[in-house]
Amino acid sequence: MGIKGKVVAITGASSGIGRATAKRLADRGAFVVLGARREDELAAVAGEITAAGGKAVHRVTDVRHRHDLEALVELALHHGGKLDVIVNNAGIGPISRFDALRVDDWDAMIDVNLRGTLYGIAAALPVFQRQRSGHVINIVSTAGIKILPTMGVYAATKNAVRTITEALRQEAGPHLRVTEISPGMISTRFADSMTDPAIKEAMGERMASLAISPDAIAGGVAYAIEQPADVDVGSIVIRPTAQD
């Protein structure tokens, strides 16, 4: 099936994995529909893509709000006439120890990482059902594979998405593909949402020593999309070779 001509909606598209994925897919001929909260950066990504000869539209999208995801899908249908893939990438990681009782951070991770992914699925599924084709790609995390201190709630939200992804795959039938991709330590703004200064500093140091380019994850997304229609890549794990 390839990538050229496919219409792909991507959340969290203004930076990091979302930005890299948008540019990779647009370079391969996809029409990308970009959503994120930061208007200026989102417009800049779309501008870079169109300046390079690619096709992109964007809309400010807060995945905590179901209507925003529905509007992003409608944008894809309006400009692209269809929706082939949704990449539920938006996520935050204000990690901390449980006894720090940063309950607001727990709520935020549940709202963005878990509820935001569900809203993306809910927005895309009716379109995929009408088309009798579609592909859901959920960005998860290796934090849910190897559980570490301070990562409890973050890993729990990502493992909840992992469970949702597998259940959706089993329910999907022959016309819907479902993929989960687990990035390891990737050079993104992951630490920006952290509210614990010591943990934020430690994460920054760890990322500086280990992190690989988000282009690696973009390559994984492209690989899953470009497979023949009867091939479903269920799970991909991509991490630095130096990561435990």
Token output for 71:
């509007």
Token output for 225:
């999309």
In degrees rounded to 5, what are phi and psi of residue 106? Answer: -60, -45
| Contact predicate 95/194, CB 8 Å | yes
DSSP calls for 159-216: HHHHHHHHHHHHHS-TTEEEEEEEE-SBSSSGGGG---HHHHHHHHHHHHHH-B-THH
In angstroms, what is the C-alpha Rg of the chain?
A: 17
Cβ burial 54-87 (10 Å sphere, 16+ → b, else e): bbbbbbbbbbbeeebbbbbbebbeeebebbbbbb
N residues, the chain: 244
| Contact predicate 178/220, CB 8 Å | no
Q: Is 223 part of the annotated catalytic residue set?
A: no
Identify residue 114 by its one-letter amino acid code: L
- List 31, 106, 128, 154, catalytic entry: 154
d(CA 15, CA 192): 12
Q: Which residues are catalytic?
A: 154
